[in-house]
Amino acid sequence: MHRLFAGICLGLASLIAAGAAERNFELGGLPPGAPPTNFVSTLAGEGKPGKWQVIDDEVPFGLAPLDGSQPAMAKKSVITQVAKDFTDEHFPILLLGSETYGDFTFSTRFKIAGGVIEQMAGIVFRLQDEKNYYVLRASAGGNNFRFYKVVNGERGKLIGPEMAITKDAWHELKVECDHTQIKCFLDGAQAIPTLNDNSFSLGRIGFITKSDARSHFTDARVVYTPHEPFIQGIVRDVLMKYPKLVGLKVFMLTGTPPQPKLVAGNNETEIGRPGETNLFDVILNGKVYYGKEGEIVSVVMPLRDRNGEALAAVRIQTKTFKGQTEENAITRAVPIVKRLQEKITTADDFK
């Protein structure tokens, strides 16, 4: 079974259809009270950051039988936000990894277990940052189901019906994104007419609650159309022009706190791996590094946008030759970096 948090493997589960892939986020292997790792706890709005934990809860195997009897239950690890911050505009968010998704179907089961000020559970999707994202959420306190978007920190129009959301009961929430079309489902039924919005084309996915709401989440799953980052296409073009390159890798600072991560390279299976600490110096201070190991020479240089601001670090690896020096290695690397920079204008080109 794939595991979700600390020491847990988040990975590609299987190809489920031509051009589509699936990720299942299941909890396991952590004792109650353990905090999630490999995911990002962040906050939209005001107040203190949330506190997410793994706990045990009784979860039904599936939907209720048609005869009205109760579905079979089993104890299972779920994730919940336990901090009690009564700030009104307080939205704890738990992002499910650093991956971004464009066209996808995301579903999760949730239970609103408590809360004095708020009783709400939902998801964020196509999230750019804490001030730009879509939300789909259910409120047991307000008895409604709503979609809205946040742009530059401003919440847009609330869209969705008034409807009973049972507290202390498990529900399924699902969203389908296909280009600009967004479909929102609750317990297997489309609860909001199909929306059309082009504010965000892709972004990250996560859970969201509000104020002191105590909500549980489990069985999160995304079926998505893999997309190639723009920078990876540029790297491929450069590798075709310079076929003698041994290696070409691009690193960016991502996450909270920022860490160097491989975002494009000649070996696509390595994308997402962390980079060395000296990459901070390259990206933040524009420093150039040279190294030699056996017959391989490496040059690491900043990759700049049209305004000269360093956005990333490029590692260029070539075979050494007689008379190889640091100076001529850097001279050979400069036109490769320039070719990459011809196509790069902003940080969005790395998505």
303 and 162 fall within a common domain: no
Give the residue carrying structure tokens 């969005």. Answer: 348
Range of the domain at 314: 230-350
What pLDDT sits at residue 61?
76
Residues 66, 71, 72, 74, Cα dihedral to 10°: 150
199 and 292 in a single domain? The answer is: no
By C-alpha distance, which of 276, 293, 286, 338 is closest to 312? 286
Q: What pLDDT is stored for residue 188 in this prediction?
A: 94
Domain-located, residue 2 = no
In a domain, residue 1? The reply is: no
Q: How far is CA 349 from CA 233, 249, 263, 273, in A?
A: 10, 15, 11, 19
Give pLDDT, residue 39: 79
77 & 130 share domain: yes
CB 302 within 8 A of CB 310: yes
Identify the CATH number of the domain in which residue 107 sits.
2.60.120.560
Which domain-ending residue is among 180, 201, 224? 224
Query: Taking Cα atoms as reference points, which of 202, 270, 224 lies closest to residue 19?
Result: 224
Residue 97 sits in the same domain as residue 167: yes
pLDDT tens by residue, 292-308: 998 999 999 999 988 88
Q: What is the pLDDT of residue 288?
A: 95
For the chain, what is the domain count? Answer: 2
Nearest to 179 by CA among 203, 202, 207: 202
What is the structure's pLDDT at 342? 87
pTM to 2 decimal places: 0.67
Instruction: For residues 264 and 319, state if they share a domain.
Output: yes
Would you state the pLDDT for residue 84? Answer: 83
Give the chain's residues under pLDDT 70.
1-19, 27-29, 37-38, 62-71, 348-351
Percent of the chain past pLDDT 90, that is, above it, reads: 56
- Total residue count of the chain as it appears in this document: 351
The tokens describing 219, both together, are 């069985």
Specify whether 181 is located in the same domain as 236.
no
pLDDT of residue 91: 95
pLDDT in tens, 120-142: 999 999 998 999 999 999 999 99
> What's the rounded Cα separation, in Å, for the pair 103 and 176?
8
